[in-house]
A and B are shown apart, each in its own frame.
Chain A
Amino acid sequence: MGNMSQHERKFKRRSMLYIPGNNPGMLQQGAVYGADGVLLDLEDAVALNQKDAARILVRHMLQNLDYSGCEVTVRINHLDTPFGRKDLEEMVPLQPDALRLPKVETVESLQETLKIIEQIEDEHGLPHDQMKVHAMIETALGVQNVYEIAGCSPRIDAISIGGQDLAADMQLVKSNDGIGIDYARKQIVMAAKARRIDVFDTVYVDVDDEEGLRDVTEYIKKLGFTGKAVINPRQVEIVNSVFTPTEAEIRKAVRVYKAFERNKKEGIGVFAVDGKMVDAPVVQRAIRVLEMADIELDTL
């Protein structure tokens, strides 16, 4: 569920590494780069004449490979393509942690896809509440409908922005500053927050520009994104480090949480730490920092 704490959810979601679905070398090594999740891609990273090969290869990978410690998501082709239905038929029975659906634009089309997923699960005697679904918002229409999309089903536990397709749909001139998709980023974050689900930022395509990646990751973290998709193992560490609390942040969070526990026993809800007021939202943020730092609250 979207408002689950990270411990309840099994995985952190700072970085999600896209892996082309027809590349066995990359698929078999996907879990070793330190990304919190791997996105096995049957869509844009696979040539049209290799869709069958990628689907079969990813199926064998999911059946045989241990991606332990990584959230495994499969991005399928859109149902409007000749490949989407078959992708669902082969991937749903394998129940990866999540399916990522590209170009979700309306609640109606999303519900149609969810219905097909459930039909396949019924055919295989599988529950409807295990495999999550992530909706990608990649068009202007999707951005306009994102709040409804994000709340369409309890299975939707994350949404993400697909910057490349969105820029194309909006007929934007290519730019590195992301100004053209800034409104969409903020709207998508707000929808996710309102629905209490996670939200992922788009990829940073210039893999040689590490400084640019760090800058944009710091920016989208401030906007409220949960994490970011990456396309190269070299990008993982940068994104993880931005989303990992600093030592100073952790120390502050420990002080806040300890003071909260102390004051709670005396029935005090608002107090001060380091001369600054602390109330429930501040405590909540401190708990989030501690979770991101892998610190168990009951050890404090």
Chain B
Amino acid sequence: MILKEKAQAGTFESSDILIMVEPLEAGAGRKIELKSIVMQQYGDDILQQLHRELDALGVQDVRIIANDKGALALTISARLETAIKRSAGIKAS
């Protein structure tokens, strides 16, 4: 998927995660900044999940800033997918 612009999805509410996405130039790789209220227990798992799903979405060069408030894995997936699609210009309708 080709990212075109900065985008975000999610909220700061409990059980949610706010994910901001910024396209980077080709070859820049992934720069992921993660904050989480469960960083100690699940930080590595969340990072692995983000990488796995960016692989699946075909996104290589991107800055991700994620602020997690205890989201389930499925919520993290949903918010990442939304942010990436928004960044790629895929509309809701």
The residues of A with any CB-CB pair to B shorter than 8 Å are 23-25, 28, 51-53, 55-57, 59-61, 63-65, 81-83, 85-86
Kindly list chain A residues whose C-beta atoms are within 8 Å of the C-beta of B92: 51-52, 55, 82-83, 86
Interface residues of B in 49-93 (CB under 8 A from A): 71-75, 77-79, 81-82, 85-86, 90-93
Of the four ranges (under 10, 10 to 19, 20 to 34, 35 or more), the interface on chain B belongs to: 20 to 34
**A25 and B16 contacting across the interface, CB-CB below 8 Å:** yes
Shortest C-beta distance, B57 to chain A (Å), equals 12
A sample of 26 cross-chain residue pairs with beta-carbon separation below 8 angstroms, ordered by A number, consists of A23-B16, A24-B15, A25-B13, A25-B14, A28-B15, A28-B72, A28-B75, A51-B92, A51-B93, A52-B90, A56-B81, A56-B85, A57-B75, A57-B78, A59-B78, A60-B74, A60-B75, A60-B81, A61-B78, A64-B72, A64-B73, A64-B74, A81-B93, A82-B92, A83-B93, A85-B93
The residues of B with any CB-CB pair to A shorter than 8 Å are 9-10, 13-16, 71-75, 77-79, 81-82, 85-86, 90-93
Other-chain residue from A52, A57, A63, A81 in contact with B86 (beta carbon distance below 8 A):
A52
Kindly list chain B residues whose C-beta atoms are within 8 Å of the C-beta of A53: 9-10, 78-79, 82
Shortest C-beta distance, B92 to chain A (Å), equals 4
Q: How far is the CA of A30 from the CA of B16 in the complex (A)?
A: 15
Shortest C-beta distance, A184 to chain B (Å), equals 31
Q: How far is the CA of A121 from the CA of B72 in the complex (A)?
A: 29
Other-chain residue from B71, B73, B82 in contact with A52 (beta carbon distance below 8 A):
B82
Kindly list 8 other residue pairs between chains A and B, CB separation below 8 angstroms, not including A51-B92, A52-B82, A64-B74: A24-B71, A25-B15, A28-B72, A52-B86, A53-B78, A53-B79, A64-B73, A83-B93
**A56 and B78 contacting across the interface, CB-CB below 8 Å:** yes
Q: How far is the CA of A63 from the CA of B77 in the complex (A)?
A: 12
Shortest C-beta distance, A33 to chain B (Å), equals 15
Kindly list chain B residues whose C-beta atoms are within 8 Å of the C-beta of A55: 92
A-B contact count, CB below 8 Å?
59
Q: How far is the CA of A65 from the CA of B75 in the complex (A)?
A: 11
**B93 and A65 contacting across the interface, CB-CB below 8 Å:** no
* A61 to B, closest residue via Cβ: B74
Q: How far is the CA of A82 from the CA of B91 in the complex (A)?
A: 10
* B93 to A, closest residue via Cβ: A82
Kindly list chain B residues whose C-beta atoms are within 8 Å of the C-beta of A24: 13, 15-16, 71-72, 75, 78
* B80 to A, closest residue via Cβ: A56
Q: How far is the CA of A112 from the CA of B66 in the complex (A)?
A: 42
Kindly list chain A residues whose C-beta atoms are within 8 Å of the C-beta of B9: 53
**A86 and B93 contacting across the interface, CB-CB below 8 Å:** yes
